[in-house]
Structure 1
């Protein structure tokens, strides 16, 4: 018997419709939007290896005669922020931490020239600005790095002066909500009127601590699993549906 193909397949369209409606509600509530930087706005180390940066921080420590400061596992960690956090935990507020943080900042600044813009991020940022929503960056990267990238992309005016990044007080790195709280105070916004867009569990936890609704951006399945395991409910694999909803196209 030939199957009847005249009836529309609603089993595929209904979940998408519900997801779009939920995304529409999330976006409609937001009067201010706080972006994480590396991930939702760009891939900072697309042309450089973050693992090589972490290795360089470790080698710098060893050159100072501080090889024993890190465990073997910590010396091989691919995330430079992990190395920075470990050193800060063992030598808080020291000159050593200040120098190591500056070394990381210099690596980040070099990476800006080859950073890849996240697909649909630029038009999304410009569209949100055009409809009167105020934007800020709340990141664990150096604010100097964010400022340079935004200038290169012609996006400075969409955020200025609301860029809040890593300070020398590394206890304030996300998941601490410090940079989110600074953003909210500067924008004069209640947490419930804001939306945080981030791509890591630390972004989600910082938003939770600050009382800010969260939208996860996951460019692959691994990122999505990490976000959902942390408790994030609203996660998109692309910023395109966010842009389409904002433009009234979905």
Structure 2
């Protein structure tokens, strides 16, 4: 399920027409959580839930996944049935710390998405307004971008709020970004790498450009309904590469 030249041309046209580009963070900008890292954080969260005396809030399915956000979401949902005021801020704090540590590691281990820095600088140079729309803590995105000398290219960083129920696929983070930019959905293009990104963009009325670094990611984006998918940013910045920018 490879990406073809039509996708590259469509991606160029999407970006050329955009007044703003909304970047998801983990994936489209850097690899924040390689699988082994997300598994470690998820296991730490499960252990903390049990330690604090709330084992029943996690199903076997949630316990078996390697996604810290799944654990956080399960704890939040449990709050609709019982008092988890002691637990939720602890888990949220652990998730945020894990993301901040991962951001530092992504910088130190050069896990930036190939071509992302050039694409960001190219779009910024065209005076396209940029924002981050992520399910991660905005602190983690800011930390990474600051360390990579890219933060100044972004008008706004929007991430997870105190209500994890508003994480994508809910369009909340995109709606907040458009509000802060004072732009309409039709002015924007979102770059994302998951089916939840596709759904959030659709619900927000924002055009979507999928970034799939491998066949598994590309397949997931196609199955979620992404019409335009690229596996590399490099074809989108060829002119800048040719000029040596």
TM-score (norm 1): 0.88
**How do 1:113-192 residues align onto structure 2 when only pairs under 5 Å count?**
113-115=104-106, 116-160=111-155, 162-192=156-186
Is the counterpart of residue 99 in structure 1 residue 51 in structure 2? no
| Native 8 Å contact 2:52 2:87 kept in 1 | no
Counterpart CA distance in 1 for 2:64 and 2:35 is 21
Return the offset for 1:176. 0.6
Provide closer, same or farther for how the CA distance between residues 94 and 241 of structure 1 changes in structure 2, counting only shifts above 3 A.
farther
Q: Please say which of residues 69-78 and 133-142 is displaced more in the overlay.
A: 69-78
Whole-angstrom distance in 2 between the partners of 1:204 and 1:31: 19
**Count of residues paired in the alignment:** 234
Give CA deviations for 1:183-212 in whole Å, capped at 9, x if unaligned.
Answer: 111111111110000001111110000000
Unaligned runs of 5+ in 2: none
Aligned match of 1:4: none
Q: Aligned equivalents of 1:119 and 1:144: distance in 2?
A: 22
1:16–1:217: structure 2 CA closer, same or farther, 3 Å change rule? closer
Supply the RMSD in Å over aligned alpha carbons. Answer: 2.0
- The equivalences for 1:1-250 within 5 A come to 17-46=5-34, 49-92=37-80, 94-115=85-106, 116-160=111-155, 162-244=156-238
Contact map agreement 1:24 1:245 (CA 8 A) in 2: no
Larger mean CA deviation between 150-159 and 45-54 belongs to 45-54
Q: Shift of the alpha carbon at 1:22?
A: 2.0
Deviations 1:35-71 (A, max 9, x none): 0000000001249610111000000001012222212
Give the 3 Å change call, closer, same or farther, for CA 19–64 of structure 1 in structure 2: closer
Deviation sequence 1:205-246 (CA, Å, 0-9, x none)? 100000000000011111111111111110111111222378
Matched position secondary structure for 1:118? coil
User: Rg bigger for which structure?
Assistant: 1
CA contact (8 A) 2:195 2:224 kept: yes
- Alpha-carbon distance in structure 2 between the residues aligned to 1:245 and 1:171: 41
Gaps of 5+ in 1: 1-14
Q: Cα distance, 1:247 vs. partner? A: 7.5
Query: Does the Cα contact within 8 Å between 1:139 and 1:179 map onto a contact in 2?
Result: yes
- For residue 42 of structure 1, give the secondary structure of its aligned residue in structure 2: coil
Cα contact 1:47–1:114 (8 A) shared by 2: no
1:21 deviation in Å? 3.0
- Secondary structure of 1:196 counterpart: strand
Alignment partners' CA distance in 2, 1:71 and 1:18: 43
